[in-house]
Structures are given as structure tokens and as C-alpha cells.
Amino acid sequence: MTVMTLEDWRDQGRTRTQLAAALRESRVVRLRRGVVAEFEEASRTAVHRMKIEAAAPFLGPGTYFAHESAAVLHGLPLLSSRLDEVVVVRTKGGHGTITKTLHARRAQLSVGDAAEVDGFPVTSLIRTTCDLARRLPFPEAVMVADAALRSPLDRGELLRRIVGGRGCRMAAAAVEFADARSESPGESLSRVRIHRAGLPAPTPQVELVDDFGQLVARVDFWWEGEGVVGEFDGMVKYVKLLRPGQSTEDVISAEKSREQALVAAGCRVVRWTWRDLWNGELEHRLRQALDRSGATPTSRASLGVHSLLPRGGPRR
């Protein structure tokens, strides 16, 4: 990644037309007026962080990064489509403004609403969570609230902070639905899709063991009465499971062996990806698996081990 001014760009013999094309193709990002960054590959979150760093020296007194930008600084998950503009709030008066690189809003912050993260002035974690829960659609608000509860924020305090005002009902519903056991944005959105499809609610993050106390697997979702396991497959998950000396292929192979152990134990395993969260495939696959379980109930004696019992424990 290379940060440069527009003069640097021209000094390299490149034209404004080439710059416009690079911006359209996202090979170059505008950090602030007159400054761009050129890179081959970077996540939208990393790019937004660069924009925050570029904007920070030009913030006036009483100005704090907020909303989506505060989420990036606090490590709260957002869909990439939310990360186009840097957002700040101004507490010293003045007007809200919108430019190509900065969206400034007017706001008043109460005691405890302001914080500092990595040297950047930012709204506090609880204020940021409440702001986003009021503004985002329910599925994304749940995604943020799940992560906030893992931080951990207190659910009761979140609910007290969002009483009254615009978006309070949707925010309260998202916080009530939130579950700190969801360990990734994909798992959070999966729970919302399952709920809205009218399917039985699973138990998140369950460790399954046999009668001898031997671990069979830890699974993302478990429908105990039906013997159905649900697994959200995101590449971040496989990266997290990597150990020194392992490749992604090694982890995928281990996951296949793990699934075979679950099937041998009598479980039905349903896997889905990010794409399945948006095209209805998740609901279709789960409904089929749960309906089959209802037609031919799976008893513990038929699982291939004496019993499968959930317990807490470390990840896999």
C-alpha cells in the first residue's frame, strides 16, 4: 500500500483520467482531499482505518469518530457496504457537512460517551453500540450487539441507554435478541435468518461428548431434539483454526474428518456460507434437515455413541 498526494501521482507521469479509472476500480482509495492510497489488495475495514488515520489530524476540537468509523476502531463488525465514508460527530456547535471523504454530524455526548482508541478521539463502545443499533437494519444491529456483549458490555445497561428516541424499539429488539455466544458476524446473521424463517432456535457453540466424556466436536449450532448440527463456513473461521505449520487445506481436511465423526455419531450436519445467508439456501437446507428429523426422530441410542451431551469448553 502506498499513500501519495495528487502531486505525487502526477509526478509519476500518470494522468487524472488514470486516477479516475483507478478510483472506480477500487485500486486507489481517496483518504482525504488531495491524498490517495494505492494498493493491490486490502479489506474494506483496513481501507476505512486508513481513511480514519488520514482524517484525524484535521479534526477540530470536540470532534469524535462515531457510528461506522467508531465501530471500526472498537472492532465491532459491519457489512463492507457500510464503510464508504468516515463519520464524525461535532460537539462544539457548527453545521453537519458531507464531503467525498467525511460525514460530520452534530451531536451532544454525555459523560462516558467519549473515549480514546489508539490515540483517536471516538465515541465510547456503549455509545457506539447504541447509535448503530438505532440506525442499522435488525440483522446488522444484532451482529453489532452480539459483538458488544462479547466485549463484554452489559445487556441491561444497553437497554437502559436506548430507552426513548428514534429507532429505540428496533434497537431494543436487537439487543434482546443478541447472544454473546455467537462468535462471528456470519453466525449472528445466521441466527436472524433462522429466527425469521420460523425455524426452531438452536443452541450456539455447543461441545458434544460421548458417555465416556470424549469430545466428538464443538459445533456452531445444535438442535438437540432433532440431532441436527449447523455449521457456518467463512474463510475467517478457517484462518482462526490454523496452527503453526498448517495450511488452509490441512484445516479443511480436518474439518471434513470432524464432520465424518459427527455423521458417524448419528447427527445430520448442515453447512452454509455467506452466499447462502442471502439467497434463501440456508433456510431451505435447515428446513429439510429438521423435517427429516421430525419424520424419523433421532434418539440418543441411535447416534452411534451412548449419548451426545452439550457442555462448555474451549473452541474445538
CB contact at 8 A, 35 and 4:
yes
For residue 111, the model assigns a pLDDT of: 87
Centroid of chain to Cα 235: 13
- Burial of 232-249, coded b for 16+ CB within 10 Å and e otherwise, reads bebeebbeebeeeeeeee
Q: Which long-range contacts (CB under 8 A, 24 or more apart) does 290-296 make?
A: 290/199, 290/200, 290/223, 290/226, 290/228, 292/268, 293/223, 293/225, 293/226, 293/227, 293/228, 293/268, 294/226
DSSP string, the chain: -EEEEHHHHHHTT--HHHHHHHHHTTSEEEEETTEEEE-S---HHHHHHHHHHHHGGGPPTTEEE-HHHHHHHHT----GGG-SSEEEEE-SS---EE-SSEEEEE----TTSEEEETTEEEE-HHHHHHHHHHHS-HHHHHHHHHHHHHTT--HHHHHHHTSSSTTHHHHHHHHHH--TT--SHHHHHHHHHHHHTTPPPPEEEEEEE-TT--EEEEEEEEETTTTEEEEE--HHHHHHH--TT--HHHHHHHHHHHHHHHHHTT-EEEEE-HHHHHHSHHHHHHHHHHHHHHHSPPPGGGSSSS--EEE--S--
- CA dist., res. 158 & res. 105, Å (int): 22
pLDDT tens for each residue of the chain, 316 residues long: 577 778 877 877 788 888 888 887 777 777 777 777 776 556 788 889 988 998 999 898 999 999 999 999 999 999 888 888 999 999 987 777 888 778 999 999 998 899 999 999 999 999 999 999 999 999 999 999 999 999 989 999 999 999 988 999 999 999 999 999 999 999 999 999 999 999 999 999 998 887 777 888 889 999 988 999 999 986 544 445 545 565 556 666 777 888 888 888 888 999 998 889 988 899 999 999 998 765 444 433 233 333 444 544 334 4
- Bridge-based pairing state of the strands 228-232 and 215-223: antiparallel
pTM: 0.78
- Bridge-based pairing state of the strands 102-106 and 86-90: parallel
Q: Which of 263, 260, 241 is nearest to 251 (CA)?
A: 241
For residue 12, the model assigns a pLDDT of: 76
